[in-house]
């Protein structure tokens, strides 16, 4: 998985968390403002009594007398003075619907949303990282590059084209030897690449798994661990390796080399020598013995 995609996913998750936080904060602020704007109990009582008639015979009435007066008026049988104006309606009591959600609900929803977003971001990053076909790395079909450019680089440097992401080497395969390769059962799955002039070799030594480097002087692969040697197309030439280098199916589509690293194809048996390429100079690894 490209690290930039992981960062992008993390950024999106972070933005989501910030949005949830801001949303929850805004809702809470609205609710608090609604509470602040609402009249207090004292203000409501005052508003209620402002329009009430004063009981007859009383220049000034106590609170209890006012309450009694209101109750009698509501029942319609009170002996009170005729009001000059109809009483103003009492302010409607505040409820949760008017205020939106409560603080507790905002907090709970924020926590749930945060948890869900975090899980989603983490899950997406994991899937993207573990899904090889998305990454174009080892375990998937890889577009290595243009055949012409790869072959030119190999000829210039006198060494295989190495692709670390695919853990593989690309070397030219002599197309005139493809007919001989057809007789080797182990090559049946890689013939398409040979006919296109390409062999894709797994970097791992088939003896005990060391990465096999290229020896520029001998023009062979020579393993530093126990001295196994393989020629340019990965056919075993010496050392304890039980077969030639393992490889991948390769093809050339529209001039581009495609290597399928989903399947590692076991190398050819000892004694296979379709190209006849012998050592072209001193070996990089000391003298080895055939096993
Ligand atoms: S691991 Fe390469 S020769 Fe042993």
Read off the pLDDT of residues 26-70 as tens digits, 9 standing for 90 and up.
666 666 666 666 666 666 667 665 655 544 444 455 666 666 766
Q: For residues 167 and 164, give the distance between their C-alpha atoms in angstroms, rounded to a whole number.
A: 5
Most confident listed range (17-31, 69-83, 237-251):
237-251
Sequence-ordered list of residues with C-beta below 8 angstroms from that of 187, at least 6 positions apart, any chain: 181, 194, 268, 274
Question: Helix 63-75 and helix 41-50: axis angle, to 10°?
Answer: 60
Sequence-ordered list of residues with C-beta below 8 angstroms from that of 75, at least 6 positions apart, any chain: none
Q: CA dist 59 to 53, 55, 67, 83, 132, Å?
A: 11, 8, 16, 15, 91
Ligand 1 atom showing the smallest separation from residue 228 Cα: 3
pLDDT (mean) for 273-281: 96
Identify the pLDDT of residue 85: 62
C-beta of 205 in contact with ligand 1 (< 6 A): yes
The conformational region for residue 250 under phi > 0 = left, psi -120 to 50 = alpha, else beta, is beta
Q: What is the DSSP letter of 62?
A: -
Phi, psi of 194 (to 5 degrees): -60, -40
C-beta of 210 in contact with ligand 1 (< 6 A): yes
Lowest-confidence range among 44-53, 66-75, 224-233? 44-53
Q: How far is the CA of 285 from the centre of ligand 1 (A)?
A: 12
Q: Which residue has the higher pLDDT, 14 or 281?
A: 281
Q: Which residue has the higher pLDDT, 39 or 19?
A: 19
With 80 as the cut, is the pLDDT of residue 96 above it? no
The verdict on pTM exceeding 0.85 is: no
With 80 as the cut, is the pLDDT of residue 260 above it? yes
From edge to edge, which strands make up the β-sheet containing 161-163?
141-146, 256-265, 247-253, 198-202, 168-172, 161-163
With 90 as the cut, is the pLDDT of residue 270 above it? yes
Q: Which residue has the higher pLDDT, 117 or 214?
A: 214
Ligand 1 atom showing the smallest separation from residue 223 Cα: 2
**Under CATH, which architecture does the 141-265 domain have?**
3-layer Sandwich (2.102)
With 50 as the cut, is the pLDDT of residue 236 above it? yes
DSSP H stretches of helix in the chain: 3-37, 41-50, 63-75, 96-99, 103-130, 132-135, 147-157, 178-181, 191-195
C-beta of 243 in contact with ligand 1 (< 6 A): no
Q: How far is the CA of 268 from the centre of ligand 1 (A)?
A: 16
Average pLDDT of every residue of the chain: 81
End-to-end distance of the chain based on CA atoms, in angstroms? 41
């Amino acid at each position: 998985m490209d690290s930039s995609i992981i960062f992008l996913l993390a950024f999106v998750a972070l933005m989501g968390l910030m949005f949830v936080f801001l949303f929850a904060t805004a809702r809470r602020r609205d609710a608090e403002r609604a509470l602040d704007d609402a009249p207090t109990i004292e203000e409501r009582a005052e508003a209620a009594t402002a329009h009430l008639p004063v009981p007859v015979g009383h220049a000034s009435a106590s609170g209890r007398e006012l309450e009694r007066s209101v109750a009698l008026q509501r029942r319609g049988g009170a002996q009170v003075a005729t009001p000059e104006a109809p009483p103003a309606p009492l302010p409607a009591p505040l409820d949760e619907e008017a205020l939106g959600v409560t603080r507790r609900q905002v907090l709970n929803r924020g926590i749930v949303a945060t948890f869900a977003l975090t899980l989603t971001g983490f899950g997406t990053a994991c899937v993207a990282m573990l899904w090889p076909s998305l990454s174009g790395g080892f375990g998937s079909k890889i577009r290595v590059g243009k055949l012409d450019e790869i072959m030119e680089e190999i000829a210039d440097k006198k060494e295989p084209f190495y692709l670390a992401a695919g853990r593989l080497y690309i070397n030219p395969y002599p197309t005139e030897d493809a007919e001989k390769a057809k007789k080797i059962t182990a090559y049946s799955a890689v013939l398409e690449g040979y006919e296109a002039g390409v062999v894709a070799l797994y970097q791992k030594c088939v003896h005990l798994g060391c990465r096999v480097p290229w020896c520029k002087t001998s023009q062979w692969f020579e393993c530093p661990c126990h001295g196994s040697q393989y020629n340019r197309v990965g056919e075993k030439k010496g050392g304890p390796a039980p077969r030639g280098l393992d490889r991948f199916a390769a093809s050339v589509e529209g001039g581009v080399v495609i290597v399928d690293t989903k399947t590692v194809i076991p190398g050819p048996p000892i004694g296979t020598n379709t190209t006849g390429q012998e050592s072209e100079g001193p070996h990089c690894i000391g003298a080895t013995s055939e096993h």
